[in-house]
Amino acid sequence: MIPGKIGLAVGIVGSVAFIRWATLGGGTLGLAFGLLLSAVLLMWVGYMLPRARMILVSVGFFTLMSGIFASYSNWLPQVRGEVPKAEAAGTSKKAEDMTAQELADKGEMIIFGEMGTLHGQGKGQCPLCHGFKKGDVSERAPNLAGIPQRAAERIKDARYSKPDSIQTEAFSGSGRATTAFEYIAESHSCPNCFIVAGFGVKGSNDRESPMPAIHKPPIQLTIDELIAVDTWLFVREGEEAPPVADLRAAYEKFIPAADRAEPAKEAAAPAGGPGPVIATGADTPDQIIAKMACGACHTIPTTGNKFGAIGPVLIEKTSAAKRIASAEYKARVKAGKAHATTPKEYIIESIMNPSAFIVPAFVNKGNPDVSMMPPDFAKKFTYEAVEKMADFLLSIDESAAAKDGIKVDKDGRKAS
Ligand code: HEC
Ligand code: HEC
């Protein structure tokens, strides 16, 4: 009986160790192996120990089934295989040297920063404004599901052939889009060339687009990156992507040579998604603004960010103190949601916890409790960086805006 007891102990310790090993480092395949081996061990020990046979054989059988399930699910074809990150980023390869699928994967990484989820946010920043899943309510910008088909319709729109927006050609003499993929390229490089009805800058009568030109700072994708994004827009609909040469020609039609982002910049900030894009104390305020794309939503006097219109013009030397003194802010303090007592604290709170208080004119009607500011800056700013940003924004007032030719209405909006 003694050897039997030792066998039992060894069996139990062995099984536990196997499962532990497998779950820690072995991945699902390791887990499957661990379970199968444990099952064999348990049944063998059960065979040696008549008194514990029933229980050990049942537990062994259960473990065996789990092992079979684990290995079965491991061998199932994966819906979406792990794409090697470096390859998806494919930064060094020219679009011409990549397959349509490689380009589409790269495009997906640029948009979302991760594969197969339609979540997250890559360097392209598109999900800041756009929904991508059919049925997603995307009230700040059109849902991009079905865009290849819709693009072909857009160019037949009467508003497209008789544009009256603030800019009607990407650059003087560029001409306008004549195909669906040209329409998409034009949307990216000249958002003002056509404004989807209802999505223009508020008060502009759909004559001005809130979308930033994607080839320009702060987003500044290269033509190769834009080709990847467009390829994904087609491939994910099950459509054949236009040939790379045609896509490149479309971008060269709309982006003058002097405005094309250098591929070197692409290498410096690989398409590998947001990764840990962190603003640190080593960055200047301009670098922080560029990294975090504040200019996609905010006009920021003195910095050259003149087009953001989703959030208030950032003239915090003028605004921050007024906000804290407002009845609306005091109500949020009373409710325990907002906590700033100084202008600097107000700015830090606006960045780190944007929904603490929402500037009244910018309340999103569909979702009044949630700010349209990205909610995750708290994870992307070091303390030093947010302090630096707050000090910098506190140096900008109404007169700095006036000097830049930027008018601000009483609500903090850019007045056009
Ligand atoms: C700051 C918000 C914002 C960001 C960021 C943004 N867009 Fe847009 N986009 C808009 C808005 C608003 C419109 C509709 C107005 C217009 O037509 O310009 C639009 C229009 C478009 C259209 C035309 C849609 C249609 O139905 O005709 C395309 C295509 C597009 N965006 C693609 C992109 C891609 C790709 C990215 C990322 C690389 C991106 N956008 C980033 C706001 C944004
Ligand atoms: C996706 C659009 C978006 C981006 C990107 C964005 N903001 Fe905002 N921001 C808003 C909106 C909308 C508001 C107004 C609603 C609110 O108060 O939360 C706002 C409010 C603010 C306020 C309060 C302004 C005031 O006058 O009371 C500050 C400060 C601010 N943002 C700073 C920043 C900084 C700094 C960045 C970049 C690190 C940034 N925002 C990026 C949309 C954005």
8 A C-beta contact, residue 141 and residue 195:
no
What does the pLDDT average to over 7-30? 54
376-387 pLDDT per residue, tens: 898 788 878 889
300 forms bridges with which residues in the sheet?
305
Q: What is the DSSP string of 298-324?
A: --BTTTTB----SS----HHHHHHHHH
Could you give the C-alpha distances from 268 to 62, 161, 264, in angstroms and in order? 52, 40, 6
Looking at ligand 1, which residue's alpha carbon is closest to its atom 21?
187
Place of tokens 């004119």: 361
> How far is the C-alpha of 177 from the C-alpha of 12, rounded, in Å?
70
Residue 4: the pLDDT is 55
For ligand 1, say whether the CB of 199 is within 6 Å of any of its atoms.
yes
Confidence of residue 241 (pLDDT cuts 50, 70, 90): very high
8 A C-beta contact, residue 108 and residue 123:
no
Q: Which ligand is nearest to the CA of 225?
A: 1
Distance of CA 234 to the CA centre of its chain: 19
More confident residue, 54 or 254: 254
Could you give the C-alpha distances from 29 to 23, 38, 66, 76, 84, in angstroms and in order? 10, 14, 12, 12, 19
Confidence of residue 265 (pLDDT cuts 50, 70, 90): very low
What lines the ligand 2 site, CB under 6 Å?
128, 292-294, 296-298, 310-312, 314, 316, 319, 323, 347, 350-351, 354, 358-359, 362, 371-374, 377, 389, 393, 412
31-88 pLDDT per residue, tens: 566 666 777 776 777 778 888 777 777 777 766 666 555 555 544 433 333 444 444 4
Task: Looking at the CA of residue 226, tell me the nearest atom of ligand 1.
Answer: 38
Place of tokens 């979406």: 80
Structure token digits, residue 249? 């020609």
What does the pLDDT average to over 134-157? 89
pTM higher than 0.85: no
Environment class of 210 (CB within 10 Å of its CB; exposed 0-12, middle 13-18, buried 19+): buried
Phi, psi (rounded to 5 degrees) for 301: -55, 150
398-415 pLDDT per residue, tens: 999 999 999 999 889 988
